[in-house]
Chains A and B, each alone.
Chain A
Amino acid sequence: MNTIKEIQEEIVDEFSMFDDWMQRYEYMIELGKSLPLIEEQYKTDDYKIKGCQSQVWVHADFQDGQVVFTADSDAIITKGIIALLVRSFSHQKPEDIIAADTQFIDEIGLKEHLSPTRANGLVSMIKQLKMYAIAYQAKANN
């Protein structure tokens, strides 16, 4: 399994092929469609991330010392963004997720989504994924 850093570099590489925003967004929309979808039973308020204009649900499992994420959103661009996060964080150890940065979002030209006041709640999503990692780490240590 590649490290988070390696996966993020791979994503940056993929996005560097595109000349303009339209191609980047089209690719992100494609990625959204390939997101490992959350099971219907988890699409409830308990799994919903607050602070998004669209609805976003995230679920995490702990398998063999790794956190496995699934997610969904009713907005396709939001889904694309969360697909990038799930791709880089899923099947990773909790401590690596907690320590990871998300600079790659800026590098692939989606900086505008990183503002904490932006209505898509990317910052809330990152926080939620890390919260799951912290929770599983605490559980593992017990």
Chain B
Amino acid sequence: MTNFPIDKIRLDFPILQRKVNGKPLVYLDNAATSQTPKQVIDCIVEYYSLYNANIHRGVHTLSQEATDAYEAAREKIRVHFNAKHREEIIFTSGTTEGINLVAHGFSKRLKKGDEVIVSALEHHSNIVPWQMMCEETGAKLRVLPMLPNGELDMNAYADLVNANTKLVFVNHISNALGTINPIKQIIEKAKKVGAAVLIDGAQAAPHIKADVQDLDVDFYVVSAHKMCGPTGVGVLFGKKTWLEKLHPYQGGGEMIDQVSFEQTTYAGLPHKFEAGTPNICGGIAFGAAIDYMNTIGFEAIAQYEHDLLVKATQALLEIDGLKIYGTAKEKTSVISFNIEGIHPYDIGTIVDKLGIAVRTGHHCAQPIMDYYKIPGTVRASFAFYNTFEEVEALVQAVKKAKEMLS
């Protein structure tokens, strides 16, 4: 791809100029967290330099400016995910909190005999909250299995869904393997039996612009830090009808209507789920990150990242004994691999010495590692600010590591 403005984009990310162990940084751990462009950093500096104040309550100018900026960010996020109503966008501390919020709400609604379905490709954060919910309610957790290539077994899914199914939770994209799951099909099938669906969009948000109305999804959760925003902030999209029904997650200021020692009535949406002073600056900066990514354009990003993936896959597979886990037809720019006879941790250590940041381990997805009967993998995950030269640097570093460790 020739017209992708990669040189210009790289100048937006100050961190890409730094060196690690004397070598230029090659950052390929984007699935863990993305780097931050100066447009977002400037937004954070501006907030603390000019209008830092608590929101929604103050009558003074600063408070009004901060409130306006925070609510403008909510609106940007609404538009980005094409939610129908602004009150369907709940600010959270990240994907994990979004999932816990929904699991908490459902723990008041489910009962013994109900069933919930989790996919085998989930991050621990989309497994554990539901296990806790099942323990509390007596609902049964059923697992939608995976196939050897890292895709979900959709035939098995058809058999799993039944009249007792109340909830289905699946990630849009697997963090460990990069598989893009057929969520539209999963949602459609769940709707037929009246089950609600939560999609963990943490890994998808930096690559795909999800349209929650088109998907007809009930809950969609994301984190800002995976898509060029700061850590500690994210969003839960929830259909208004569901959010009105669910019990509040945390009690505190801001989420109330009237409080007396006898009784409290809750505030309307979205505030019912936003107890306490939120991450104001984080929310505003999340809006700036979405603006930044939309300026580049998600179609251009997807195409460029796909080219990086194809190049990296081809080059890595030329290394003798290298095996890639997750070869789904539809996958994003994540490559999870091992080299026969070498521990992933050793490869990660050597390539780090060569300036390359990859992730090693089980990627918070132990069930996937158990499926493949491996302790973990080396995971290289590419973003739109990575280059073909960096792909080459990775390949050379892996070759060097193999030479040293064999």
**Assuming A21-B21, A22-B404, is B350 touching A119 (CB within 8 A)?**
no
Segment from A40-48, A70-78, A83-91 that makes contact with B: A70-78
Instruction: Return 20 A-B CB contacts under 8 Å, by A number.
Output: A21-B21, A21-B353, A22-B404, A25-B350, A25-B353, A25-B404, A26-B404, A53-B345, A53-B361, A54-B345, A54-B346, A75-B343, A76-B342, A76-B346, A76-B405, A77-B346, A77-B349, A77-B350, A119-B360, A120-B349
A55 to B346, CA, bound (A): 12
- Chain B residue numbers with a CB within 8 Å of A74 are 343, 375
A65 to B359, CA, bound (A): 44
Whole-angstrom distance between the Cβ of A44 and the nearest chain B Cβ: 16
- Chain B residue numbers with a CB within 8 Å of A55 are 375
* Closest partner residue, chain A, to B352 (CB atom): A112
* Closest partner residue, chain B, to A55 (CB atom): B375
Apart from A53-B361, A77-B345, list 11 A-B contacts with CB within 8 A.
A21-B21, A21-B353, A22-B404, A25-B353, A53-B360, A76-B346, A76-B405, A77-B346, A78-B343, A78-B345, A120-B349
Instruction: Find out whether the CB atom of B404 lies under 8 angstroms from the CB atom of A29.
Output: yes
A50 to B286, CA, bound (A): 37
A75 to B361, CA, bound (A): 12
A140 to B404, CA, bound (A): 44
B98 at the interface (CB under 8 A from A): no
A74 to B376, CA, bound (A): 12
- Chain A residue numbers with a CB within 8 Å of B405 are 29, 76-77
A71 to B353, CA, bound (A): 26
**Assuming A29-B405, A54-B375, A76-B405, is B361 touching A119 (CB within 8 A)?**
yes
Whole-angstrom distance between the Cβ of B239 and the nearest chain A Cβ: 40
Instruction: Find out whether the CB atom of B404 lies under 8 angstroms from the CB atom of A75.
Output: no
Whole-angstrom distance between the Cβ of B338 and the nearest chain A Cβ: 12
Interface string of B341-367 (1 = CB under 8 A from A): 011011001100100000011000000
Whole-angstrom distance between the Cβ of A84 and the nearest chain B Cβ: 15
- Give the A-binding residues of B (Cβ under 8 A): 21, 342-343, 345-346, 349-350, 353, 360-361, 375-376, 404-405
A22 to B350, CA, bound (A): 9
**Assuming A21-B21, A26-B404, is B345 touching A119 (CB within 8 A)?**
yes
Residue of A29, A55, A74, A76 with most chain B CB atoms under a 10 A cut-off: A76
- Chain B residue numbers with a CB within 8 Å of A77 are 345-346, 349-350, 405
- Give the B-binding residues of A (Cβ under 8 A): 21-22, 25-26, 29, 53-55, 74-78, 119-120
**Assuming A22-B353, A53-B376, is B404 touching A120 (CB within 8 A)?**
no
* Closest partner residue, chain B, to A118 (CB atom): B349
A80 to B182, CA, bound (A): 45
Whole-angstrom distance between the Cβ of B89 and the nearest chain A Cβ: 35
For the complex of A and B, 6 pairs with smallest distance between CB atoms: A75-B343, A75-B345, A54-B345, A53-B345, A77-B346, A75-B346
A78 to B376, CA, bound (A): 15
- Chain A residue numbers with a CB within 8 Å of B360 are 53, 119
- Chain A residue numbers with a CB within 8 Å of B361 are 53, 119
A85 to B286, CA, bound (A): 47
- Chain A residue numbers with a CB within 8 Å of B346 are 54, 75-78
* Closest partner residue, chain A, to B362 (CB atom): A53
- Chain B residue numbers with a CB within 8 Å of A26 are 404
A78 to B350, CA, bound (A): 12
Whole-angstrom distance between the Cβ of A136 and the nearest chain B Cβ: 30
Instruction: Find out whether the CB atom of B404 lies under 8 angstroms from the CB atom of A54.
Output: no
- Chain B residue numbers with a CB within 8 Å of A22 are 353, 404
- Chain A residue numbers with a CB within 8 Å of B349 are 25, 77, 120
Whole-angstrom distance between the Cβ of A30 and the nearest chain B Cβ: 11
- Chain B residue numbers with a CB within 8 Å of A119 are 345, 360-361
A13 to B188, CA, bound (A): 67
A54 to B343, CA, bound (A): 8
- Chain A residue numbers with a CB within 8 Å of B342 are 76
**Assuming A29-B404, A53-B361, is B21 touching A120 (CB within 8 A)?**
no
- Chain B residue numbers with a CB within 8 Å of A78 are 343, 345-346
A28 to B343, CA, bound (A): 15
Whole-angstrom distance between the Cβ of A15 and the nearest chain B Cβ: 15
- Chain A residue numbers with a CB within 8 Å of B404 are 22, 25-26, 29
A26 to B353, CA, bound (A): 13
- Chain A residue numbers with a CB within 8 Å of B21 are 21
A74 to B350, CA, bound (A): 16
A29 to B402, CA, bound (A): 12
- Chain B residue numbers with a CB within 8 Å of A76 are 342-343, 346, 405
A77 to B353, CA, bound (A): 13
Whole-angstrom distance between the Cβ of B406 and the nearest chain A Cβ: 10
* Closest partner residue, chain B, to A120 (CB atom): B345
* Closest partner residue, chain B, to A52 (CB atom): B345
Whole-angstrom distance between the Cβ of A16 and the nearest chain B Cβ: 19
